[in-house]
Amino acid sequence: MEKDQSCSSSSAAINRNKECGQQAVEQECLKLYHSGFAEITLDKRQGLLVVRWLRPVKSQEYREGIEETGRILLERKLEKLLVNNQRMGVLTMDDQGWLAKISVEVISKSNLKYLAIVSSVDVLQQLTNEVLDKKVKKETPLFDTQYFLTEGAALEWLTNS
């Protein structure tokens, strides 16, 4: 079920969701943004923001999704962020430069401590993620970034962080 996946997929969370029913899941998970290309969900129990790109995106769509993510991250003073890029595709050079700039601005003002990035198996996407991460970390307060091929592994790491 989609709502179960929005929150932590740890076995404790899954068991809690089964015991408490759908109402508990809805209380713990709050869908803050949804469009045809992205969704942003807050797991209130974990203090975790989950961003999922739903398909390859155009530049304008990407920027809209990232700006919304930044706004929520700052507004809610969150420390944990998961970005699932598996369906997103590869960013243009212009979007990479823009992302580095806005990431420095937002992360410098945020409480971010843990960032989990779920990549596709596309080597170009993985390289792009790592290059951008290095650029951003040179100019922002320290935060821990880990890369994953599955959302479940990323959620497990963030839940235990």
Q: Determine the average pLDDT of the residues in 54-78.
A: 97
The CATH number given to whatever domain includes residue 154 is 3.30.750.24
Domain count, the chain: 1
- Residue range 99-121: average pLDDT? 92
pLDDT of amino acid 2 = 38
Task: Note whether residue 24 is domain-resident.
Answer: no
Supply the pLDDT for residue 89: 84
Q: Is residue 69 part of a domain?
A: yes
The predicted structure's pLDDT at residue 143: 86
pLDDT of the residue at 13: 45
Mean per-residue pLDDT over the chain, rounded:
82
Please check the confidence at residue 8 and state whether its pLDDT lies above 60. no
Percentages of the chain per state (helix, strand, coil), in multiples of 5: 50, 20, 30
Nearest-angstrom CA–CA distance, 123 and 4: 30
Give burial (CB, 10 Å; 0-12/13-18/19+) of 117: buried
pTM over 0.95, yes/no: no
Residue 35 domain boundaries? 30-159
Query: Does residue 7 form part of some domain?
Result: no
